[in-house]
Amino acid sequence: MFRFPVSLGGSRDEGRHDQITPLDEHRVVVDEVDFFSEKRARVSRENINDAEDDEEADKVHVKMENSRVEENDRSRDVNIGLNLLTANTGSDESTVDDGLSMDMEDKRAKIENAQLQEEVNKMKIENQRLRDMLSQATNNFNALQNQLVGVMRQQEQRNSSQDHLLATEGKAEGRNRQELQTMVPRQFMDLGPSSGAAEHEAEVSSEERTMIHSASPPSLLESSNLRENGKRLLGREESPEESESNAWGNPNKVPKHNSSSSNNNNNGNGNVIDQSAAEATMQKARVSVRARSEAPMISDGCQWRKYGQKMAKGNPCPRAYYRCTMAGACPVRKQVQRCAEDRSILITTYEGNHNHPLPPAAMAMASTTTAAASMLLSGSMSSQDGLMNPTNLLARAILPCSSSMATISASAPFPTITLDLTNSPNGNTPNMTTNNPLMQFAQRPGFNPAVLPQVVGQALYYNQQQSKFSGLQLPAQPLQIPATSSVSESVSAASAAIASDPNFAAALAAAITSIMNGSSHQNNNTNNNNVATSNGDNRQ
């Protein structure tokens, strides 16, 4: 909903990152509404109030700003017309001296005053809305921050308790655990080229070179699978997957090959059958990530083995099939294909959940895709409309204003959610502007939009770790967003829903705080070394 003047320059987003002029920076500071800075929000409110009380010229100026900020998508034409009318009226009057009578001038002045008055009224309404949204966002942020403090305290307690564990468990495993604990807060998924694949490094686009790399080797913890299955089990492994029906790993080949056997497993229990069907559906949920990349495959921290390649219909580029090889029986697969329309866009489709611990570098993407799938399906469970409804939580949470960035498809054989990390091909940068705080970070200079899922993933990783270590569980109930007619209401509903979930809220707050600290160079986290360092251990 918010359109910031800084984004209206017509330059593409990556261009903005590369060529930030001092003027741009200044404009960002002046115009960007940062919901996560109380100080900044207060300043904005003061500016708005000042504008209301100032003279008419300033009002017109503020109106223009507001029109660009808020109403760009729904009443752009109206505001432009008003501005033009006002400007033309004034300029014509001031420059043209054709001997008009004073009555005519008075009438014109009255008309102008009436127009300005009307404008002021509209502006007040808009300001009221802005204030409401700001206060709501501020409240949400405060809530998130408070919950973050609680989470951090819990984590400190866990760390202290894990020190005792280190004494009893193996030192190496303990070190891995500690690494995970300390490194994760600054972990970022790498959507750029494989940091370990040197042959791909030269093909990296400038956009991807801005990515923040992880310096951590794949540190696995609690690798029961690896301990039990020392050797790789590639190919068809039904039995190991059936044996480990934990929350993470379920075979994703249920409907196709094991439809009968899966029913045999649950004979006589309808609920179990329903649950397995739901899990099967969950397994078939797909998360598609579109990202610009010259590299043949984006690096997401996992190890993949290519097991097939096919020419897909309607696309001259072949589709490659990969299987996760970090654990022998990991059911996660992904498809990589270039977009037929724009071959610089790499479409990576993930399917299934990892049934093994993931390195921090991989956790972000895995959490993102898992959360996307679960959220997608949580919406689809209640009604099919949940799939297509634009009020879907994830779509709203990630991109409340740009349907092109997070789309949900029910036409595919399996529910699929697409996270579009590319700027729109036509350079329509306003798509990247939103009142979503996550996306606001993405608009900051030097922040690559492709790291957006890192934020979500990082947040969800916090969530998962919290669940794992403190016994807290992910909310069983889906986060339902009531259908609303207004976009702002939908955003508010999504924000409220997120904020109402303490786990997610705390996780999101951690991620946001992490990003904020990182962007402002005030992060005193000792793991800052991870930033901009390359991990050579992540093979692809």
Partner DNA sequence: CGTTTTTGACCAGCGC
Partner DNA sequence: GCGCTGGTCAAAAACG
Q: Which residues of the shown chain bind DNA in the complex (CB under 7 A)?
A: 232, 235-236, 253, 255-257, 259, 303-314, 319-321, 323, 325, 333, 335, 413, 539-540
Comparison of 196 and 445: residue with beta carbon closer to DNA: 196
As measured in angstroms, the least distance from the Cβ of 342 to DNA is 19
**348 in Cβ contact with 332 (< 8 Å):** no
Q: What b/e string do you get for 451-472 counting C-beta neighbours within 10 Å, with b at 16 or more?
A: bbbbbbbbbbbbbbbbeebeeb
Q: C-alpha angle 91/115/74, rounded to 5°?
A: 100
Comparison of 256 and 521: residue with beta carbon closer to DNA: 256
Question: SS3 for 217?
Answer: coil
Comparison of 141 and 350: residue with beta carbon closer to DNA: 350
Comparison of 326 and 366: residue with beta carbon closer to DNA: 326
As measured in angstroms, the least distance from the Cβ of 354 to DNA is 15
C-alpha span between 510 and 514 (Å, rounded)? 6
H, E, C per residue of 3-16: CCHHHHCCCCHHHH
Rg of the chain on CA atoms, in Å: 26
As measured in angstroms, the least distance from the Cβ of 259 to DNA is 6
As measured in angstroms, the least distance from the Cβ of 199 to DNA is 7
Comparison of 321 and 447: residue with beta carbon closer to DNA: 321
Comparison of 347 and 506: residue with beta carbon closer to DNA: 347
| Single-letter code of the amino acid located at 116 | L
As measured in angstroms, the least distance from the Cβ of 318 to DNA is 8
Paired tokens of 410 = 């029910």
Q: Is 85 exposed, middle or buried (0-12, 13-18, 19+ CB in 10 A)?
A: middle
**255 in Cβ contact with 226 (< 8 Å):** no
Question: SS3 for 346?
Answer: strand
H, E, C per residue of 248-298: CCCCCCHHHHCHHHHHHHCCCCHHHHHHHHHHHHHHHCEEEEEEECCCCCE
**436 in Cβ contact with 5 (< 8 Å):** no
Comparison of 433 and 540: residue with beta carbon closer to DNA: 540
As measured in angstroms, the least distance from the Cβ of 415 to DNA is 13
As measured in angstroms, the least distance from the Cβ of 197 to DNA is 8
Comparison of 272 and 311: residue with beta carbon closer to DNA: 311
As measured in angstroms, the least distance from the Cβ of 314 to DNA is 6
DSSP annotation of 70: T
